[in-house]
Amino acid sequence: ISKSNAQPLSTENAKQLLNSVDAFLFDCDGVIWKGDKLIDGVPQTLDMLRSLGKKLVFVTNNSTKSRKKYAEKFHSLGIPVNEDEIFSSSFAAAMYLKVNDFPREKKVYVIGEEGILEELELAGFTALGGPADGKKNPELKSNCLFEHDKSVGAVVVGLDQYINFYKLQYGALCIRENPGCLFIATNRDASGHLTDLQEWPGAGCMVAAVCGATQKEPIVVGKPSTFLMDFLLQKYNITTSRMCMVGDRLDTDILFGQNAGCRTLLVFSGVVTESAFQDLSKELQVQPEYYTNSVSDILKYV
């Protein structure tokens, strides 16, 4: 798609979009909220879309929470959303293992937080690691061999605010030395809004550390992976050409929608400003169909 194809949302094309779409896939951070702060006009916009009979789905690359915790977050912000309308990259990691018949007797080592641990447990898998592992550190003595569990069959890496040298060594050993061990990344976002004021290093940084230590590339299960889209499409019987992906990032959200043949809408309420968008889209060769300041513009135009 050439640069000139991206159009600002207008009264005319917003109406056309609404009439030709049955489902909206919403990215969360930068579209619905920024950190813990709701973006203006979101509840009203979602209410309007529901009243028009549109199916709403929420897709977040932030792996620190489970679907259950995200449903609670939506409710606390005054937005009624069911767990089964939420697809987080933590859930995607557990579903990837399930869909691929990961053996129940094998274990999963997690460099990540509670969201991943909860989803793995709900799916019936045994997890090791997680945030608490951050309290330990390897003893680097010449006579001390660092041991790892040989029954670990997958390493899942997501955002981990407690990452340390021990976890890197543990994950890297599993990937390098356990035959067939999977290396799964929840997402590769370079940064994320852990608070609404500022961006912080994202899961991409932890993933890069494990890539560096193993010289291996991960299977990515969050946006923009086709795994997550295919999984989602199996749950909902919707034609991709009648779906619109709304997001604030080109390299995750818009690419996720575009790869599947969805309509796409980029909003400037998150990480990408309008001027940065013009530069980024040239560099990434990823174009949204439409762009606008925030999702609440949809309300303005219809």
- Active site amino acids: 22
Residue with tokens 């909902």: 236
Does the footprint of ligand PLP cover residue 129 (CB under 6 A)?
no
Q: For residue 27, state whether it binds ligand PLP (rule: CB under 6 A).
A: yes
160 binds ligand PLP (CB under 6 A): no
CB-based closest residue to ligand PLP: 192
60 binds ligand PLP (CB under 6 A): yes
Helices then strands (H, E): number in the chain?
11, 16
Cβ 122 vs Cβ 130: under 8 Å: no
DSSP-assigned states of every residue in 64-81? TS-HHHHHHHHHHTT---
Of 134 and 138, the one with the shorter C-beta distance to ligand PLP is 134
Residue 274 token pair: 């309008």
Q: Is 202 in the site for ligand PLP (CB under 6 A)?
A: yes
Q: How far apart are CA 263 and CA 244, in angstroms?
A: 4
Closest alpha carbon to 280 in 296, 270, 10 = 270
Site for Ca ion in 242-281 (CB under 5 A): 248
Q: Does 29 bind ligand PLP (CB under 6 A)?
A: yes
Residue found by looking up tokens 């979101």 in the block = 42
Contact set for ligand PLP, span 174-193 (CB under 6 A): 187, 189, 192-193
Q: Does 159 bind ligand PLP (CB under 6 A)?
A: yes
Which one of Ca ion, ligand PLP, none is in contact with 189 (Cβ closer than 5 to 8 A by kind)? Answer: ligand PLP
Angle at 73 between CA 71 and CA 76, to 5 degrees: 110
Pairing, β 191-192 against β 200-201: antiparallel
CA 217 – CA 203 distance, rounded (Å): 14
Residue 203 touches which of ligand PLP, Ca ion, none (CB < 5 to 8 A by kind)? ligand PLP
Q: Residue 154, interface with ligand PLP (CB under 6 A)?
A: no
For Ca ion, the binding residues in 7-66 under the rule CB under 5 A are 27, 29-30
* Residue number, 169 or 191, with CB nearest to ligand PLP: 191
Spatial neighbors of 153 by CB under 8 A, at least 6 apart, are 102, 103, 106, 107, 108, 178, 180, 181, 182
193 is in the binding site of which of Ca ion, ligand PLP, none (Cβ under 5 to 8 A by kind)?
ligand PLP
Name the site residues for Ca ion (rule: CB under 5 A): 27, 29-30, 248
Name the site residues for ligand PLP (rule: CB under 6 A): 27-30, 60-62, 64, 159, 187, 189, 192-194, 202-203
